[in-house]
Amino acid sequence: MPPWTNGVLSFNNGNGICYLKLRDTEMCLTKSDMDLSFLPKVQNLRFNRLMKTVLIIDDDRSLRATLSSWLLESGWRVLEAEDGEQGLAFALQHRPDVVLCDLLMPRCNGFHVCRSIRSHRDSLSNTKIIVTTGSAYATDRINAFEAGADEYMVKPIDPDILLTLMDNLVKGKQMVGDISETTLERRNQPPRLKFWGVRGSIPTPGPETVFYGGNTACVEVRAEGEIIILDAGTGIRPLGLSLIEEFKGRSMDLTLLISHTHWDHIQGFPFFLPVYNPKHKIRILGYEGARQGLESTLFAQMESPYFPISLRDVSGHITVEELKDMDFNIGAVGVRAELVNHPGICSSYRIYTSGGSICYLPDVELFQPQRAQNEESPDKLAEQKFASGQDDKLVEFIKDAEVLIIDAQYDATEYEAHVGWGHSCLEDSVRLALRANVKRLFLFHHDPAHADEQISRMVARAREMVEEQGSGMLVEAAREGYELVLEPTAAAANSVKPRISAAG
């Protein structure tokens, strides 16, 4: 026994590990710590029951010593393990608040440690895992997050960054479940939406489009503490800059809902800066495309020769999930999806918030007007019956929505030359909204050929139609930078929401 164990309960567990109890806390020390140089560190400790515990699992003895020293000085209670197997045993025994885990270790690698900790949902559900590794490979980063890591740090470790990360992780845990402080702050704010890109097909910068904007589809929705981004057209670039400015270094948890993978809905993604910061979690949801999966389509646009950085090499924590169900939840927000008439697979979304529903139908050609033009149909009546039935389904989908954002790319004359192109004309979209008793209509997916003046004329025409029907529906054209705050209502909060399913 080393001489400094006087007054301290300690014993060797026969495995080279010493179990040390000092006042009301305890530590596990490896053989390497059993020298006199460790004594001053121990004597200077001021333990109390509020101290948080960190378990360092690393086969590098000197790194363990360095990390221990930083963490002890910062008021953490420290446990050490020299391989993955021992680390798992200590984790189960001591239920640490944070585990710092290397990846390449003897006996049991770090991926396995992460998975094992996550499999103990009852006893270790509050334990946060930070992978601390020499591997800067994107695949290892992705695999670590998939195995259950909360954060990923590449060595050499910066003590300030590490301590901030650990503090943030633990603070999040002390709030409610797994909800961060910022999420809780946001939860108390009313739902709102903001347009970042409103144009269809291709970006259209220039003096003629300054008022409504030239960026392609991107809408931000905030509701019940969630930040939901609808589509990643070029409007997502300024949204990314704005989020970085707002969060000032704090981590973000974002959900990107993709309607479909036509260029004008995904092309801004490589320029969305949060993608390049490992602190941020970006969850991408959408449906499988007609020819290939969502993930491969998103990845393909960032492959050489199209783009200098592969999506597999970006440092952000990105997950792509292909939706199977039509009802799912994003946190506390219920979402319902409906596949619509547009070339390929294209989804629309109804987002249920405490301020009413927001329906997003960026690209859709209504069935009835399209099929009415079908001269070759052998059975006109059957054709019309089918088309009306499909449009009725859409009316049901958007029924009584607080907000409807819908494709209104053409006016009636232009539509005649664009039947079958996958987009609607203003008149048809307004009629649909009126039938569904929508409260507020935003014309969306503006044609690249439409200057501001023409879009304003289309709004005036839409308002005329609404007035003719004696409806109180509000009509606007979606405009970049326009923000709408929805007042929470008891009725909306109690409205039937989709059940929680896989994407929850």
Residues that bind Zn ion (CB under 5 A): 200, 262, 264, 363
Q: Give residue 487's identity as a one-letter amino acid code.
A: E
| CB of 217 vs Zn ion, minimal distance in Å | 6
User: Who contacts 289 (Cβ-Cβ below 8 Å, separation ≥6)?
Assistant: 260, 261, 297, 344, 345
| CB of 250 vs Zn ion, minimal distance in Å | 33
Query: What is the 3 state secondary structure string of 412-437?
Result: HHHHHCCCCCCCCEHHHHHHHHHHCC
Q: What is residue 339's three-state secondary structure? A: strand
Query: DSSP letters of 358-407?
Result: EEEE-S---HHHHHHT-TT-S-HHHHHHHHHHHHHHHHHHHTT-SEEEEE
Burial class (CB in 10 A: 0-12, 13-18, 19+), 206: exposed
| CB of 391 vs Zn ion, minimal distance in Å | 19
| CB of 274 vs Zn ion, minimal distance in Å | 23
Buried b (16+ CB within 10 A) or exposed e, 421-458: ebbbbbbbbbbbbbebebbbbbbbbbbeebbbebbeeb
End-to-end CA distance of the chain: 53
Q: Quick check: 236 and 272 in contact, CB under 8 A?
A: yes
| CB of 262 vs Zn ion, minimal distance in Å | 3
Phi, psi of 483 (to 5 degrees): -125, 140
| CB of 260 vs Zn ion, minimal distance in Å | 6
- Quick one: 262 or 371, whose CB is closer to Zn ion? 262
| CB of 323 vs Zn ion, minimal distance in Å | 18
- Quick one: 220 or 264, whose CB is closer to Zn ion? 264
Token pair for 364: 């859709």
- Quick one: 151 or 264, whose CB is closer to Zn ion? 264
- Quick one: 77 or 262, whose CB is closer to Zn ion? 262
Q: Quick check: 306 and 267 in contact, CB under 8 A?
A: no
Which residue of this chain has its Cβ atom nearest to Zn ion in the complex? Answer: 262
| CB of 374 vs Zn ion, minimal distance in Å | 21
Q: Quick check: 274 and 310 in contact, CB under 8 A?
A: no
- Quick one: 58 or 264, whose CB is closer to Zn ion? 264
- Quick one: 145 or 360, whose CB is closer to Zn ion? 360
| CB of 202 vs Zn ion, minimal distance in Å | 10
- Quick one: 279 or 450, whose CB is closer to Zn ion? 450
Any bridge partners for residue 193, and if so which?
A: 221, 484
- Quick one: 96 or 200, whose CB is closer to Zn ion? 200
Give the DSSP H or E segment for 334: strand 333-339
Sheet containing 77-81: give its strands across.
Answer: 77-81, 53-57, 98-101, 128-133, 151-154
- Quick one: 362 or 369, whose CB is closer to Zn ion? 362
